[in-house]
């Protein structure tokens, strides 16, 4: 039976895991609170929210199945070795549950608050539907032979792909508007910290087991951690360097500013928006 060789490394593993859970979970709240304070979701990309919900739902299916299902765990050990620890921790499951709930809550806010004419694009809907269709196809293929590990790994790959895709609409929207107004930068340091902590957690397990099998056994966790680090660095660059002047406005008036920035993004480059826009 797989077990930890070092109790100290096991403790560090748990600390890193629950730290990642805490910061990644908290990272959902700044945007939700900003939406509530403004009573508006203008500036928040709706495609990102739909793709994010699909991503976390897929990740929850993978994490819960690997952590709770004896059948999936047996198939994992048959494939990767009896001495290997399963690559999913309790904090992974807890994070996924929380993430699905908060992502769903943010989508509810989209229906309740000022949208400023924004909507989910056809591409966003199609990509999300395509992800669920891929999962359904995997279920149809896996069911006759009971290949449950393979099925949940399909969902793990889906969530990793969705993690790449989901950031693109918000990054592109920031670029097109030359502004990050209406989108909360407070989520990024938390998101970045969680990604780093997850990689360190996997490294600790690898050191203890003297094996890198946990990386190949859970490429989804490694993938989303690397992806969030890369995009978080991009968002930090956009907010603090590229569009700093355009973002020196009161976020409470972001809905009004958004309309002007949409019509004439060049104003954001020079900061003229601050001089020309008055509160409605």
For 144-191, what is each residue's pLDDT tens digit? Answer: 999 999 999 999 999 999 988 888 888 888 898 888 877 778 888 999
* Tens-place pLDDT, residues 93-122: 999 999 999 999 999 999 999 988 888 999
pLDDT given at position 279: 44
Segment 233-261 mean pLDDT? 68
Q: Does the CA dihedral 216-221-223-226 come out positive or negative?
A: negative
Q: Would you list the DSSP string of 166-196?
A: HHHHHHHHHHHHT--TTS-TTHHHHHHHHHH
Quick one: tokens of 72? 């999936």
pLDDT given at position 248: 56
Give residue 259's pLDDT band: very low, low, confident or very high (50, 70, 90). low
For the entire predicted model, the pTM comes to 0.78
What single-letter DSSP state applies at residue 62? H
Residue listed under structure tokens 């359904």: 136
C-alpha span between 220 and 218 (Å, rounded)? 5
């Amino acid at each position: 039976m797989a077990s930890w060789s070092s109790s100290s490394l096991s403790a560090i593993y748990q600390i890193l895991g629950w730290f990642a859970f805490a910061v990644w979970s908290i990272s959902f709240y700044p945007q939700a609170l900003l939406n509530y304070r403004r009573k508006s979701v203008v500036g928040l990309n709706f495609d990102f929210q739909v793709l994010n919900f699909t991503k976390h739902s897929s990740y929850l299916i993978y994490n819960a199945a690997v952590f709770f299902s004896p059948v999936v765990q047996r198939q994992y050990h048959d494939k990767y070795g009896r001495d290997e620890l399963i690559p999913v921790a309790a904090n992974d499951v807890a994070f996924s549950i929380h993430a699905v709930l908060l992502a769903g809550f943010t989508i509810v806010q989209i229906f309740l608050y000022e949208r400023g004419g924004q909507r989910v694009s056809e591409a966003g809907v199609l990509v999300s539907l395509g992800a669920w269709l891929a999962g359904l196809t995997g279920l149809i293929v896996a069911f006759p032979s009971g290949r449950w590990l393979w099925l949940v790994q399909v969902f793990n790959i889906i969530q990793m792909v969705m993690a790449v895709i989901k950031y693109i609409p918000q990054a592109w929207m920031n670029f097109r508007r030359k502004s990050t107004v209406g989108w909360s930068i407070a989520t990024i340091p938390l998101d970045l910290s969680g990604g780093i902590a997850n990689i360190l957690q996997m490294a600790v397990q690898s050191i203890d087991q003297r094996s890198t099998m946990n990386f190949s056994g859970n490429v989804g966790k490694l993938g989303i951690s690397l992806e969030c680090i890369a995009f978080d660095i991009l968002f930090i660059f956009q907010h603090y360097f590229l569009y700093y002047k355009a973002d020196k406005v009161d976020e409470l008036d972001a809905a009004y500013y958004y309309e002007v920035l949409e019509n004439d993004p060049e104003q954001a480059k020079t900061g003229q928006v601050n001089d020309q826009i008055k509160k409605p």
